[in-house]
Structure 1
Amino acid sequence: MKPALLTALLLVAVSVAVGQPGPRAPERLAWEQAGALAAPRAYATAVTLVTGEILVVGGLDKDDPKVTSVTSELFDPLTGHARVLDQRLPGRVNHAAVAGAGGRVAIIGGSVWIGDGWAITDRVDVYLPYEHRWKEGQPMLHGRTGVRATALKDGRIFVTGGYDGPRLIKTSEIYDPMSDHWSEASPMIEPRGDFSIAALDDGRVLVAGGLFGRESIPAVSSLYYDAQRDRWSPGPDLLSPRVLQSQAKLPNGDVLLIGGQHAASNTAERYDARRGVFEYAGTLAVPRMVADAAALPDGRAIVTGGLVVTAGPVSFDPSARTELWDPATNRWREVAPVSSGRAFARLISTADGIYQVSGVALGEQAQARVERFVWH
């Protein structure tokens, strides 16, 4: 071959190689240290503020003589630092924290430690993010613990079900954080607790699974609440009864229910908001309950932690294993685990990652460490 022809062929080969993209780097899916809370907390609530900070409220530490935490704190994802707010609140667990109109966050109901036992509270506290302070709100119409609540499209906060002690209840009420006013809403068809609740994109509220009725039976049923008409109606049945499941609202409006107690512990199902039905959403590698779940912006979802469900008694040894669900394949796969297992934690989604806050670790130890799940 002539030298000139060989040179030309080499130049063509090099230009083709340069023009083609190289092998795609594998996606990094990992947990990383993101900071710490000012104090360990178990069973706390956490919610993202309009300022971008994460508000953490309540919870308990079994090694603290006060039992429940009377402080609240702001965690800054940018710095990894937490700041304890000056005002003190009644320490509580099993409460709800919901952001409503004006970015105001309502801390609703729950259980408070009085003397040597727990009591149900109707107390409401409202955080004003632009004024950086708390104010006490009007009490609920019905005190409750195991509170289930969600924000409606108009910024009001809908509360339903839960417990008034050992009994399930069916009462419902709506709170307006701007006017600080509660109004009675239609009760559920039957008493229910420990269920999933999600505000759908069409304005209705979906209630799914949990325990229902006087006998506290695991529910396969779901309900819709229409706030405009103040009316409940039956929803589609789940594929399996679910109690103590985790959930994630997906970007397309669907709702993913994951794990739970008993037979449903190793499966997931997805509420298809367009068709109004529940569909199978894969099998988990780790059967789990009281785990933590969150959606990624691209429609995938993760679940982590929780208590592993086995054939025998459930031990309090939370799992550190993390799984990722992909809607394209409708399958779960294991990814990097979190540094230590915890149950009853809170996953908070932000633009730069999913933050794990609070939780109960091995030996029922409260947690201060904050970790962040990243993907890129």
Structure 2
Amino acid sequence: MRSGRTSFLGVALFALVFSCNSGPRADGVARDASGAPLRLATPRKQVPFVALRDGRVLASGGFDGQRALASCEVFEPETGLWSLTGAMLTPRRHHAGVRLLDGRVLVLGGTQGAVPGVLASVEVFEPSVGTWTQVAPMTEAREDPAAVVLPDGRVLVAGGVDGDGRSLRSAEVFEPSTGTWAPVSPPGFVRGGAGTAVVLPQGKALFVSGLQAELYDVATGRWEKAGFAGGAAGTHRQGHSVTLLPDGRVLVVGGGTARASSTAEVYDGATGLWSLVAAPSTPREHHAAVVTREGSVLVMGGEHSTAGVLASVERFDPGTGRWSSAPALEERRELPGALTLPDGAVLLVGGANEVSGLLVTSERYPPGGCVPRTCVAHEAVCGAVVDGCGGLLECGPCVLEGCDAQQCRAEGLTRR
């Protein structure tokens, strides 16, 4: 009888630990989703947020401030909830993630921040069942590489950083049908950084980082310089955004140098030329940039060396080449994830700021205007609070247990 009870407990424990729905963290401890709208179960940064084919959003791994994570979450636009899904086989942060043409998600490389350090391992996520499968590793371990899906369905990965912190000048491609990797000719310069590469309508892949942008020609497998060094702004870029415009041109904004942070430029793949456009009003780096349904570009959040972490948002009109201000974010965010949802709203996820540290919150940003927050959305906040659209909400009196009457009146509080 005792052995039967032990066996039953063993099976139950096995089911608890390995259940896809439990979403174990990298430290082996499962954490239930909070059930609060737009709230992650775990704060995350250094993580790719990937839009799934059915409109959901996948967050895989990342860094919670203490360790690399294996746990994963999925955002459901219809309910506004994040929920845990199957965990990756390997904890990782600073990795790349892309959606394959068949709807699966490929994550590759990154680091665990400890032994074995930088990773060459690769996994594939199947959204229909919420599980991960390991595939062949890359030929080289890479932290923070640049990755794009080519028109033929293969994945091109370039650059990144090795285990000794050295920037890599190499590239390789993944073949989804076989699950294998093959090296390709190396770029002329080191490459890397999430979101720093796009595929042009001409079929070439444009990589923009450092001082010299480059093109990878899918037809020939060769690299070529994309314009003069430094582009039209004549500057090195890191911590910038690279956005493919609806007309096929590419908008590059911001970066870590004074010149980069305060400039924007456009690359035309048809002519191979860079041109300066109007500068945004706020210099920034480590921001998010997304294309709206109307074809404009929203540049959101980020940071600046003097202003700190930003909540400001600006809109770029590709037709006029001009910028206009847009309603600010609810929270200041640097390094947020940002994706356009099926209803046209923009989902801002995570990031960090000086006050809250790593952010566990998300927010839906309406690209056409601002929807004021309600007192309920502010949870326990009372008194006059900002509504996120430049106005104030009056959320009722603030009640303080045992407050002295004179002190309460002076501070606008109500005695219970």
TM class by shorter chain equals 0.7 to 0.9
What residue is the counterpart of 2:222 in the other structure? Answer: 231
Contact 1:34 1:77 in 2 (8 A): no
Kindly state the Cα deviation for residue 363 of structure 1 after the two structures are TM-superposed.
4.8
Question: How far is 1:364 from its partner?
Answer: 7.0
8 Å CA contact 2:191–2:207 kept in 1: the answer is no
Cα distance change, pair 57–269 in 1 and its aligned pair in 2 (3 A) = same
2:361 aligns to what SS in structure 1? Answer: strand
1:354 and 2:346 matched: yes
Q: TM-score, normalised by structure 2?
A: 0.74
Corresponding residue number in structure 1 for 2:283: 287
Report the counterpart of residue 147 of structure 2 in structure 1.
149
CA distance in 1, matches of 2:342, 2:268: 25
Unaligned runs of 5+ in 1: 1-32, 211-218
Task: Deviation per CA, 1:249-275: give whole Å up to 9, x if none.
Answer: 212222111111111111111112332
Residue 64 of structure 2: aligned partner: 61
**Preserved CA contact (<8 Å) 2:39 2:361:** yes
**Could you state the TM-score of these two structures normalised by the residue count of structure 1?**
0.82
Which residue identity lines up with residue 303 of structure 2 in the other structure? L
Give how far 1:332 is off. 1.4
Cα RMSD for the two superposed structures = 1.9
- What does residue range 43-122 of structure 1 map to in structure 2 within 5 Å? 43-62=46-65, 64=66, 67-114=67-114, 119-122=117-120
What is the one-letter code of the residue matched to 2:101?
A: A
How far apart, in 2, do the equivalents of 1:128 and 1:35 lie? Answer: 23
Q: Distance in 1 between matches of 2:137 and 2:356?
A: 31
Aligned counterpart, 1:343: 334
* Cα distance in 1, alignment partners of residues 141 and 180 from structure 2: 15
Residue 234 of structure 1 aligns to which amino acid in structure 2?
K
Q: Identify the match of residue 134 of structure 1 among 106, 119, 132.
A: 132
The residue number in structure 2 matching 1:260 is: 255
Q: Secondary structure at the match of 2:214?
A: strand
Match of 1:374 in 2: 366
1:25 aligns to what?
none
Cα deviations by residue, 1:291-333 (Å, 9 ceiling, x for unpaired): 11111122210111111134xxxx8x41011111112331112
Matched residue SS, 2:189: coil
Q: Unpaired segments of 5 or more residues in structure 2?
A: 1-35, 369-416
8 Å contact kept, 1:59–1:69: yes
After TM superposition, give the deviation of residue 174 of structure 1 in Å.
0.4
Assess if the C-alpha contact under 8 Å between 1:150 and 1:159 holds in 2.
yes
Aligned-partner Cα distance in 2 for 1:72–1:170? 30
Question: 1:34 Cα shift?
Answer: 6.2
* CA distance, structure 1, for counterparts of residue 313 and residue 41 of structure 2: 26
1:32-78 per-residue CA deviation (whole Å, 9 max, x = no partner) reads x961222211222101111211000111122x5xx222201111111
Contact 1:207 1:222 (C-alpha < 8 Å) held by counterparts: yes
After the TM superposition, which of the residue ranges 83-92 and 247-256 deviates more from structure 2? 83-92
CA distance in 2, matches of 1:350, 1:252: 21
Higher-strand-fraction structure: 1
Contact 1:44 1:358 in 2 (8 A): no
**Does the 8 Å contact 2:146/2:191 carry over to 1?**
no
Does the CA-based 8 Å contact 1:137-1:180 persist in structure 2? yes
* One-letter amino acid of the counterpart of residue 239, structure 1: A
Kept in 2, the 8 Å contact 1:34–1:371? The answer is no
> How much does 1:206 deviate?
0.5
Secondary structure class of the residue paired with 2:41: strand
CA contact (8 A) 1:51 1:129 kept: no
Compute the displacement of 1:194 (Å): 4.0
Q: Is the 8 A contact 2:299 2:315 kept in 1?
A: yes
8 A contact 1:98–1:150 mirrored in 2: yes
Q: Which amino acid in the other structure matches residue 370 of structure 1?
A: S
Count of residue correspondences: 325
**Residue type matched to 1:300 in 2?**
S
User: What is the identity, as a one-letter code, of the residue corresponding to 1:42?
Assistant: K
C-alpha distance 273-176 of structure 1, shift in aligned 2 (>3 A): same
Contact 2:109 2:122 in 1 (8 A): yes
Q: Tell me, in whole angstroms, the C-alpha distance in 2 between the residues paired with 1:181 and 1:364.
A: 42
Matched with 2:398 is: none
CA–CA distance in structure 2, aligned partners of residues 59 and 358 of structure 1 = 11
Rounded Cα–Cα distance in structure 2 between residues aligned with 1:331 and 1:303:
13
Cα distance in 2 for partners of 1:363, 1:114 equals 28
Taking the aligned partners of 1:277 and 1:261, their CA distance within structure 2 comes to: 23
- Aligned residue in 2 for 1:244: 239
Question: Is 2:313 aligned against 1:322?
Answer: yes
The question of whether the paired residues in 2 share the 8 Å contact of 1:44 and 1:359 is answered with no
| Overall identity of the aligned pairs, in % | 30
Match of 2:298 in 1: 302
Greater than 4 Å deviation, 4+ residue runs: none
